[in-house]
Structure 1
Amino acid sequence: MNRRNTLKSGLVLIGSATLATLLRPVGATSQILPGGRHWASADTLPPAPVNPELRLFFDKHEATQVKAIFDRLIPADELSTSASEAGCVVFIDHQLAGDYGKGRSRFQSKPFVQGTPEQGDQSPLAPADIYRRGLAELDKDCRYRYDKPFSQLSEDIQDQYLEQLEAGVIPFSFITSGAFFSLLLGNVREGFLADPIYGGNRDMVGWKMIGFPGARYDYRDVVALKGQPLDIQPVSLIGRI
């Protein structure tokens, strides 16, 4: 879909909504269907910086397995540090202990039916539930296959196992292993590129790698530098509190 078609679709929807309002049948009423997260004024305030020494959701074994998985998805190389060194495990640990882990932003009322790929996950399970059960099943499967947990496998075997997980061929009882892999991959990316105030992207390594300026609000000192490297140092929300 290109920009023109996107704009056309938006205008059609606006026009249809206006027409529907004008032609509403006599006696028709509107109804609010609750289920989402209610807005609160406190949500507009910056979050408190995450304490990286405080583990809120994972137990020690779970944290070790997540670290091993994340470090194969984003290993240390010449471009940046590994996922765990960037704080990705801390990031998702705190997210799972909060509203994200509880699925507060999701509509979680019945019925639950199989959706289309475009609709995304339709599971009644919140992310925290998926992690807890998914890590347990992954650990059980690794011990059955290799007689050791994922974190103790060689890097080559770990990569092969993650490829099978992504392909959905690892037997999981409650979701597909491919869906669990997608959740892990999405979360490690978020942790690597989120604002450091949330515990990941430590020292803004993700932003520095891609040249993202972060929460910077003033570009007057570089606006005239056309065709030149800007070398802008990123700014975190931590520096704005």
Structure 2
Amino acid sequence: MNHDPARRDFLRLVGVTVPAGMALCACGGSGADAQGGPSNAFFAAGEMDFIQAATARLIPADALGPGADKAGVPTFLDLQLAGPYGRAERWYMQGPWPNGIDGQGYQLRFTPAQLYRQAIAGIDKHCQAQYRQPFAKLTTDQQDQVLHALEDGKVDLGDVPSKTFFNLLWQNTQEGFLADPAYGGNRDFAGWKLIGFPGPRYNYVREIGEYGKPYPQPCVSLIGRVPGAALAHAGEVS
């Protein structure tokens, strides 16, 4: 799997279809975004540095629009991991814990929040040993090399299989890029504009018979046409 703008082409092909494990459970303005702001809901500062750098490589910016980092995916991940999804509240987590096979899906004892925390620490330790810098300080070529190694299961993260973490990070990055902006990602509808999805409008009756014609209306979120403003307001009253 190549970590380059071709991934954006992949997102356009899959449209708004994201993995069935997607859990949009946290919403609000409590987390910091990629441009700074209030303290994060889940990630420590160094962890957020990793998330911003890694998501920027997984879905990079190009002529078609911003990358995942600027589209708010770090905020999405921060809010999700601080909420029920991060705590695996809807998952069976009682064990036993044998080594599973790929077809069995997630088989670890760690909740998503625990997995992210342990994996990020292990990745930065690996980068310090190999490059003398944390992941966020590496060149983009070096970051891509580390991501490829994670994807191939070649980075020692202790009890966390690096391939499992990479797959979850990639899945969650896609979710944040394509989910409704109400959940913190898809800022300024970057993901929806890329795939041509106008959002969950309440009424399409007039357009039902307009086959093959462009849809001229602007994107709209579950919380309106300017979801960033609504999220900021939610943060003020939460």
Please tell me the residue identity of whatever aligns with 1:84.
D
Contact 1:213–1:234, Cα closer than 8 Å, also in 2: yes
TM-score normalised by structure 2 residue count = 0.77
Aligned partners of 2:166 and 2:26: how far apart in 1? 28
Aligned partners of 1:87 and 1:139: how far apart in 2? 22
Structure 1 residue 50 and structure 2 residue 29: aligned?
A: yes
Residue aligning to 1:126: 111
Q: Which has the larger radius of gyration?
A: 1
TM-score normalised by structure 1 residue count = 0.76
Aligned partners of 1:135 and 1:61: how far apart in 2? 9
Q: Per-residue displacement from partner, 1:41-96 (whole Å, max 9, x unpaired)?
A: xxxxx975334544111111110111001100011101120111110000000111
Greater RCO (CA < 8 Å, at least 6 residues apart): 2
Following superposition, the deviation at residue 232 of structure 1 comes to: 3.8
Structure 1, unpaired ranges of 5+ = 1-45
Aligned partners of 1:93 and 1:162: how far apart in 2? 20
Please tell me the residue identity of whatever aligns with 1:156.
D
Number of equivalenced pairs: 196
Q: Give aligned-pair identity as a percent.
A: 43
Following superposition, the deviation at residue 176 of structure 1 comes to: 1.4
Deviates more, 1:130-139 or 1:108-117: 108-117
Structure 1 residue 116 and structure 2 residue 95: aligned?
A: no
Contact 2:73–2:185, Cα closer than 8 Å, also in 1: yes
Secondary structure, aligned partner of 2:203: coil
The CA RMSD over aligned residues, in Å, is 1.9
Secondary structure, aligned partner of 1:79: coil
Q: How does 1:16-95 map to 2 (within 5 A)?
A: 49-51=28-30, 52=33, 53-54=37-38, 55-95=40-80
